[in-house]
């Protein structure tokens, strides 16, 4: 049996400036790509052969059509993708300057407008695994309330709840404490939490890896994965922890590696009848597989374009 997985959050257009060492005022040419952390997770799941549903909102415009077509081309189920005629598709513009700093403009639109009235909650009772990616979901807007209500519903329905805080400095600058508070509310609902080492410090105000992970366990997280780039993943579950190495690769672009890691983990989880029966050793195997998928993504440019098939992963 393979469980369906629902990923909730933002789907947007990333416009990356092709010009080197310039800010957005100076940039002239841009490349359009589908973006949004939970959408990337969905794409990774589907590319591996899982049954992934995306829930979110885009504009009823050409950009929204592009995003819908992109997901459908990857076999992502778009039953819960809504189009809003009153708000445009959310757009992000990014350029990399000579000093390594990003110049970033975020034009938020339809993704913020997902409302509880848009959703048939009865349909969701059949979903047993739900992933929440929060790069924009915790920002002000109807989605924020909808997001938390869906978390509560998932908990009541005994879903396996996966959460990735996806902290973005560009979106939360000056409001980090607010982000930490809201992310902690989500962690309290979650069975699995994936964080980067930087996010772990931000959320716990603790620099010691083991102590910081214990803080998140006390908040409510059952399984915790701390991604450490080339050093692998620190995993903690049921009173045990370990560092699980990744495979060696020549990294070109790390964009989307964390999302691919989560997608791979949920793909493996979708094959398990009862996640509560998974042993620590079996979790280690799942993390090893997920590390490999995340690493492979780094060998190419583009979050979605570089996602591997299951055959490609097993051949490594």
- Taking only the tens place, the pLDDT of each residue in 70-95 is 999 999 999 999 999 999 999 999 88
Q: Is residue 104 packed enough to be buried (19+ CB in 10 Å), middle (13-18) or exposed (0-12)?
A: middle
Rounded mean pLDDT, 3-20: 93
Q: What percentage of residues in the chain have a pLDDT greater than 90?
A: 81
Rounded mean pLDDT, 294-300: 90
- 201 confidence band (pLDDT: 50, 70, 90): very high
Q: pLDDT tens, 89-113?
A: 999 998 877 776 778 999 999 999 9
Return d(Cα 90, Cα 181) in angstroms, integer. Answer: 25
Return d(Cα 299, Cα 295) in angstroms, integer. Answer: 7
Q: Answer yes or no: is pLDDT of 277 > 80.
A: yes
State which H helix or E strand residue 149 sits in. Answer: helix 142-156
What's this model's pTM, rounded to 2 decimal places?
Answer: 0.94
Nearest to 37 by CA among 259, 265, 294: 259
Three-state DSSP state, 57: strand
């Amino acid at each position: 049996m393979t469980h369906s997985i629902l990923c909730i959050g933002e789907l947007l257009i990333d416009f990356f400036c092709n010009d080197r060492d310039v800010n957005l005022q100076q940039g002239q040419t841009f490349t359009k790509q589908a973006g949004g952390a939970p959408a990337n997770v969905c794409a990774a799941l589907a590319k591996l052969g899982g049954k992934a549903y995306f829930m979110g909102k885009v504009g009823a415009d050409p950009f929204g059509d592009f995003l819908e077509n992109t997901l459908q081309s990857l076999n992502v189920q778009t039953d819960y993708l809504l189009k809003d005629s009153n708000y445009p598709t959310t757009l992000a513009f990014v350029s990399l300057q000579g000093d390594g700093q990003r110049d970033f403009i975020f034009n938020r639109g339809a993704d913020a407008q997902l409302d509880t009235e848009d959703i048939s909650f009865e349909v969701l009772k059949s979903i047993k695994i739900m992933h929440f990616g929060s790069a924009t979901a915790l920002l002000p807007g109807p989605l924020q309330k909808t997001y938390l209500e869906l978390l509560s519903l998932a908990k009541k329905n005994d879903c396996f709840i996966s959460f990735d805080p996806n902290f973005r400095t560009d979106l939360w600058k000056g409001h980090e404490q607010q982000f930490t508070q809201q992310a902690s509310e989500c962690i309290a609902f979650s069975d699995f939490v994936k964080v980067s080492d930087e996010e772990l410090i931000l959320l716990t105000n603790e620099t010691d890896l083991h102590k910081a992970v214990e803080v998140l366990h006390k908040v409510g997280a059952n399984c915790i994965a701390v991604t450490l780039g080339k050093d692998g993943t620190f995993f903690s579950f049921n009173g045990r922890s370990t560092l699980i190495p990744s495979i060696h690769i020549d990294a070109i672009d790390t964009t989307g590696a964390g999302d691919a890691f989560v997608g791979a983990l949920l793909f493996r989880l979708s094959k398990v009848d009862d996640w509560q029966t998974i042993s620590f050793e079996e979790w280690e195997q799942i993390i090893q597989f997920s590390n490999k998928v995340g690493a492979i993504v780094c060998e190419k440019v583009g979050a979605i374009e570089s996602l591997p098939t299951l055959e490609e992963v097993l051949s490594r």
